[in-house]
Amino acid sequence: MVIDFHCHVGTAEKLQAPWTTRADLSAYLERAEEAGIDKTVVFAITCDDYERANAEVAEIVAKHPDRLIGFARLHPERDKGKVELLVKKAVEDYGFRGIKVHGAEALPTREVCEVAQQFGLPILVDIMGRVEVLPLLATEFPKVNFVVAHLGSFADDWRVFQVMPYLLAQHPNLYADTSGVRFFDYLQVAVKVAGAHKILFGSDGPLLHPGLELHKIRLLKLSHEDEALVLGRNAQRLLRL
């Protein structure tokens, strides 16, 4: 099974960039099917009200229950004091299986991590290159699995890519997804140093083509077992599928 661990969906208010306007899955779903992607983790784009946005994501997931897996999007600072209620609704009413946090808004707080631990959910986090926070998160919450988006840097910060494989290898509960990583050699190093069991395929759809992102994994020329881990088995384990 091939699982894309990183895809945006839904609408937002600011209309200042694609990721604050709309993420339409119609083209993505066709491309993913053509590429042989079986399931996709989806979550809200950046917006002003994640309670509303999570409900919208739930409606979209309900239309494609065999293909989409919902994550709850949170703003750790703006949603302070109500994280448990938001996640409880996402899990019990929507059937969501994880939490998404973006460092451009705020990095995971103790409240967010405690709630993730309470519900047994992984946290997909875009750290925006701030690798220094990962040992703190990993050691304070060893029972929470953190999946670091874009191998730590969508901005192609090679310094982050040099550090990430060793952090992944050091901390059992740290993982990384491959979405949007253009410096191919660093993907190879990450698999070699940390092991295929710590890397998850992600596309950063719908703006990035899932077939193109998937082809990067094929080009790694991993063993059949290691490729299966990266493409889906690691995600299945973390999501308890």
- Taking residue 1's Cβ as centre, other Cβ atoms within 10 Å add up to 12
Q: Which one is the CATH code of 3-239: 3.50.50.60, 3.20.20.140, 3.30.1300.10, 3.30.1540.10?
A: 3.20.20.140
Q: Which residues contact 124 (CB under 8 A, 6 or more apart)?
A: 5, 6, 41, 43, 71, 98, 99, 100, 101, 147, 149, 177
Task: Spell out the domain ranges in the chain.
Answer: 3-239
> Tens place of pLDDT for every residue, the chain, 241 residues?
999 999 999 999 999 999 999 999 999 999 999 999 999 999 999 999 999 999 999 999 999 999 999 999 999 999 999 999 999 999 999 999 999 999 999 999 999 999 999 999 999 999 999 999 999 999 999 999 999 999 999 999 999 999 999 999 999 999 999 999 999 999 999 999 999 999 999 999 999 999 999 999 999 999 999 999 999 999 999 999 9
**From residue 38, how far is each of 5, 32, 185, 206 by CA, in Å?**
11, 8, 27, 15
Q: Are strands 146-148 and 39-44 parallel, antiparallel or unpaired?
A: unpaired
Q: Does the predicted TM-score (pTM) go above 0.75? A: yes
